[in-house]
Copies of this chain bind each other. A is one copy, B any other.
């Protein structure tokens, strides 16, 4: 565990305390400040944030229900250690949601939304050029999330983001990326084109296929390396 960004904590007034704590903790866990498997010490966090344990516990329970933490009775909350088996499951779900999002996005797309897609296409290209795997990973997620946003289904967006967050807890999440960098760009180009051409069926199928491929590549990379 590591330093706290106490700045945001001060914005008491509007948001409720547990929401602020929730966001703060989520950010820190996803940023890697806590290791998977590590226990979260309620008292310590309460002391660091200068609040009592009650709101901390409520926030942690929220993180547990979103799949980022794990509750063990009388032992506390632990950062979840996502296993390949679960990544497999999550990828399948993400694929189904991606396909739905692609269909709806293609159906609803309007020209003024084009920059929201092209922005991330551009960023991905830059990161491929620079061989910046981390940057590419983020731009890639942002691209897909933009599609879900355009799909205009708030519940879908919430679930999608939840799945992405959980998957990012998987230690070797970006293991398969290096090999994909080149091919990936062209696939995303086609996806963006199908959406901007208002072709739901095509966008849906491309996305379904794309996510399935990504999953296979990752799982193959894991079995190849066995780095744990």
Contacts and interface: CB of A to CB of B under 8 A. Distances in A.
Contacts of A154: 89
A200 interface: no
A104 interface: yes
Contact of A104 (B15, B16, B90, B92): B92
A188 interface: no
Contacts of A66: 65
B90 A155 contact: yes
Interface of A: 15-16, 18, 54, 57-58, 61-62, 65-67, 71, 73, 86, 89-90, 92-93, 95-97, 99-100, 104, 153-156, 159
A104 B153 CA distance: 25
Query: Interface residues of A: mostly helix, strand, loop or mixed?
Result: helix
B96 A155 contact: no
Given A58-B57, A58-B58, A62-B61, A156 B89 contact: yes
Given A16-B73, A65-B65, A65-B66, A89 B58 contact: no
Contacts of A18: 61
A151 to B, nearest CB: 9
Task: Among A18, A65, A73, A159, find the residue whose CB has the most chain B CB atoms closer than 10 A.
Answer: A65
Contacts of A54: 54, 57
A16 B167 CA distance: 28
A94 to B, nearest CB: 10
A73 B18 CA distance: 11
A100 B18 CA distance: 35
B89 A100 contact: no
